[in-house]
């Protein structure tokens, strides 16, 4: 794309030698090429979707004081995370009520949380408390999924707790360990 | 009749406006770009519906994948200070050159006794080097806990801010590894931390 020289022309026969006026226009093509190349590079290397941070607050684990406040079993729900993306949940104390095996997601855990939350609210007048107990066979994704469900279903009181051997037995019995 | 001469038009286009826009965009992308730190192991982070973005600075990140833990802390000065404190604790003297190299290393996962050797490698070799992860046994050899503690101390000393701890875990990571890391944090009374997730795109099917 060469610039056409339109400034000169004529005046060949004149006696005076006129100084040729140089064009002030700079050819910007190469500069634009370079700029767009760099834009493309930076666009492709920047991560547009910034990772999100999910805040987790763990219960204060004081190794000296063993006593813990008792909690009404009637309004606690325990979720056991097993292997193969399966979980089991039950209301109340372990062994007293039959655990239900379920999957994660919209039709599984989320539905249960909403239903049980309402039931407990209706029967006791207080909010539901959820204990999340990941077993050694569960993976990190399962934990994040459950925590996410807590947020989606507006369960504000929940805790990640270590699993008990009797609860591992429950998982084993149902083939989820 | 003379022939009508067709005026020949210049084929040059005025590039000034285009150039302006291009450089404006370029400036924007350069300023917003944050060099992506390459993870030593592939980490597939889980999705969630959380929309709160991770804070820009003052973050200590523990990358957990393949049963290994890698350590990241923001800020060259904090890294340097942390290294010096760790050196004092383990009786290892780091040269100025090593300190500079360490402050330019965004992520690492080697035990203390291999750290000097690791710092000697150049960028390409570091990529090749199989990092064994920071030892995080619950008993005697718990270097990860020391790293976290020293980094927190360094941040308080230098910036008088409390370091935010976050865990970046792989989807397939088994829970015991995560549990160990959380346990380490809890013993230092870091009860509030964040888990790094991405935004969920496709609706979940299972």
For chain B, strand residue ranges (E) read 47-48, 59-65, 68-73, 107-108, 164-169, 192-199
Kindly identify which residue of chain A lies nearest to residue B164, measuring between CA atoms: A55
pTM: 0.74
Inside any domain, residue B14:
no
Residue B44: closest CA among B168, B147, B188, B159? B168
Q: Is residue B78 part of a domain?
A: yes
Q: From 3.30.420, 3.30.70, 3.10.50, 3.40.50, which CATH number describes the A74-173 domain? A: 3.30.420
Range of the domain at B166: 47-199
Q: Are A90 and A99 in contact (CB under 8 A)?
A: yes
Asked if A105's CB is within 8 angstroms of B204's CB, the reply is yes
Q: What's the complex ipTM?
A: 0.75
The domain ranges of chain A are: 74-173
Higher pLDDT, A4 or A38: A38
> CB of A85 within 8 Å of any CB in chain B?
yes
**Number of domains observed in the structure of chain B:** 1
Q: What pLDDT does residue A37 have?
A: 92
pLDDT in tens, B97-106: 888 888 888 8
The yes-or-no verdict on residue B206 having pLDDT over 50 is no
Q: Is residue B69 part of a domain?
A: yes
- Asked whether residue B5 is assigned to any structural domain, the reply reads no
Query: Residue B206: inside a domain, yes or no?
Result: no
List of chain A residues whose C-beta atoms are within 8 Å of the C-beta of residue B173:
139-140
Would B168 be classed as within a structural domain? yes
A160·B182 Cβ contact <8 A: yes
Which of A33, A1, A37, A32 is CA-nearest to residue B18? Answer: A32
B120-149 in b/e form (b: 16+ CB < 10 A) is eeeeeebeeeebebbbbeeeeebbbbbbbb
Residue B25 lies in a domain: no
CA separation for the pair B128, B112 (Å, rounded): 19
Instruction: Tell whether B10 is within 8 A of chain A (Cβ).
Output: yes
For residue A13, pLDDT beyond 60:
no
Tell me which range, A45-49, A159-163, B199-203, is most confidently predicted by mean pLDDT. Answer: A159-163
Answer yes or no: are the C-beta atoms of A140 and B173 closer than 8 Å: yes
- Please state, as a whole number, how many other Cβ atoms lie within 10 Å of the Cβ of residue B91: 7
Q: Tell me: the pLDDT tens digits for A65-89?
A: 555 566 667 788 888 888 888 888 8
- What chain A residue is nearest to B19 in terms of C-alpha separation? A32
* Confidence band, pLDDT 50/70/90 cuts, at residue A5: low
Spatial distance between the Cα atoms of A85 and A77, rounded to a whole number of angstroms? 19
Number of Cβ atoms within 10 Å of the Cβ of B18:
16
Residues of B in contact with A133 (CB under 8 A): none
Query: In Å, how far is B54's CA from the nearest CA of chain A?
Result: 5
Name the more confident of A97 and A31.
A31
B149 in any annotated domain: yes
């Amino acid at each position: 794309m060469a610039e056409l020289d339109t400034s000169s022309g004529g005046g060949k026969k004149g006696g005076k030698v006129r100084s040729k006026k140089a064009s002030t226009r700079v050819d910007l093509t190469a500069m634009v090429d370079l700029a767009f190349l760099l834009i493309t590079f930076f666009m492709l290397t920047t991560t547009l979707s910034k990772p999100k941070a999910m805040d987790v607050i763990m219960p204060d684990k004081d190794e000296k004081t063993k006593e813990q406040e008792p909690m009404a079993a009637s309004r606690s729900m325990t979720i056991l995370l097993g292997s193969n993306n399966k979980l089991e949940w039950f209301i109340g104390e372990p062994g007293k009520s039959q655990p239900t095996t379920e999957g994660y997601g919209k039709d599984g855990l989320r539905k249960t949380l909403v239903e049980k939350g309402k039931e407990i609210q209706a029967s006791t007048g207080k909010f539901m408390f959820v204990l999340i107990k990941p077993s050694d066979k569960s993976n990190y994704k399962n934990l994040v999924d459950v925590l996410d469900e807590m947020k989606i279903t507006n369960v504000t009181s929940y805790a990640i707790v270590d699993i008990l051997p009797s609860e591992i037995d429950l998982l084993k019995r149902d083939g989820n360990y | 009749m003379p022939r009508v001469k067709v005026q020949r038009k210049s084929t040059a286009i005025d590039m000034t406006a285009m150039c302006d826009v291009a450089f404006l965009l370029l400036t924007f992308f350069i300023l917003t770009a944050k060099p992506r730190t390459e993870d030593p192991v592939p980490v597939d982070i889980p999705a969630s519906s959380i929309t709160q973005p991770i804070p820009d600075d003052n973050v200590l990140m523990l990358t957990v994948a393949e049963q290994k833990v890698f350590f990241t802390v923001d800020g060259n000065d904090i890294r340097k200070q942390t290294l010096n404190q760790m050196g004092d604790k383990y009786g290892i003297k780091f040269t100025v050159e090593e300190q500079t190299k360490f402050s330019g290393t965004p992520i690492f996962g080697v035990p203390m006794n291999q750290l000097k050797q690791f710092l000697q490698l150049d960028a390409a070799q570091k990529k090749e080097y199989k990092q064994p992860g920071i030892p995080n046994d619950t008993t005697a050899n718990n270097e990860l806990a020391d790293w976290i503690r020293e980094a927190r101390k360094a941040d308080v000393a230098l910036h008088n801010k409390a370091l935010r701890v976050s865990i970046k875990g792989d989807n397939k990571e088994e829970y015991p590894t995560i549990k160990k890391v959380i346990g380490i944090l809890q013993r230092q009374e870091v009860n509030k931390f964040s888990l790094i997730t991405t935004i969920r795109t496709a609706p979940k099917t299972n």
